[in-house]
Structure 1
Amino acid sequence: MAAVFFLVTNQTVFSMIDFLGKTSFSFVGKQSQTEELKRLQKIVVGLKLTLAFEVQYLVSIYLVKFGMLFLYSRFAKHTKHITVYLRITQVICLVTFAGCILSLFLSCVPIRTFWSLSNSNGPF
């Protein structure tokens, strides 16, 4: 049930990213500075939601995997060698989940560069 919740939330966040990333076509000619600032703020919010979307996507995918593994372990509780293989697979899934989450958050250090709109990446 939690996986379904995360999948529905993923779609909601994805639609918000799509909405916030679009520019307004209600103007004719050049945008004013306040409209441009509003548009840039919407893009920053969209990029922050993109990070949240990626985290929710990983959590929902791995919840489905863990749910299937626990279901298989309930079916195979009377056979020891299959139970051992399932436990090993659960540990491997947990390690890969932790690796995916770490790689997501360590791809931009510091994390605020993920939604930074400037071309420079800091003092370097």
Structure 2
Amino acid sequence: MNLREIDRLVAEKVMGWKVGYSIGLETNVYNSAMELGYPRVVDEWIPTKSIDDAWTVLDKFVDYELLGTPCKNDYRCKVKKDGKWFSAESSESSELVICLAALKAVGVEVE
């Protein structure tokens, strides 16, 4: 599974967004469209690559731990949901491991 597919899964399953694509929407038009239930645009929301976007994923959980040693390519994350801890490990990035742990917490396993 590629990173964009993981981004879409996180948007849908963790964030609860309807996912779609749109070109050229102005901010006020975009916000009005969201209020009417149109899909959220995820073209520029990339939690597997952007730490700012990954933090928005962590905000969905009661508690979390982000651990690891970047110089050893050792990234670990645990998120708490419904009183249970869900963890993931990756050698790629802290952003990716956040997404993988979040997906586990909502019952989606990604290899």
Shorter-chain TM-score: which interval?
A: under 0.3
Q: Which has the higher contact order (CA 8 A, sep 6+)?
A: 1
Q: Which protein is bigger by CA-based radius of gyration?
A: 1
The normalised TM-score by structure 2 is 0.26
Is the strand fraction higher in 1 or 2?
2
Is the helix fraction higher in 1 or 2?
1
The normalised TM-score by structure 1 is 0.24
